[in-house]
Amino acid sequence: MSLPTARFIQGGFKVSQHKVYLAKLGKLKILWSRELPAIQSSVRPNQKFSSSIFPKFCSRSFARSIA
């Protein structure tokens, strides 16, 4: 179960190697589980009842023609 979250779009967050800055929330340390495939378009912090915050990133992807 998780608590309600907010969605931060471009300009409302900044990602660095070890931290993400969220407007009005401040800096959060990040432990990356994998490399992101593209530039992030938005982030949604998801807080679990254990007090841990898990940022969920959204990236835009563009379809390529295989022909």
In this prediction, residues 24-39 reach a mean pLDDT of 82
CA 1/CA 20 separation, integer angstroms: 23
Range 30-56 average pLDDT? 80
- Give the pLDDT band (50/70/90) at residue 3: low
Question: Dihedral angle at the C-alpha atoms of 38, 41, 49, 28, nearest 10 degrees?
Answer: 80
Average pLDDT over residues 56-65: 75
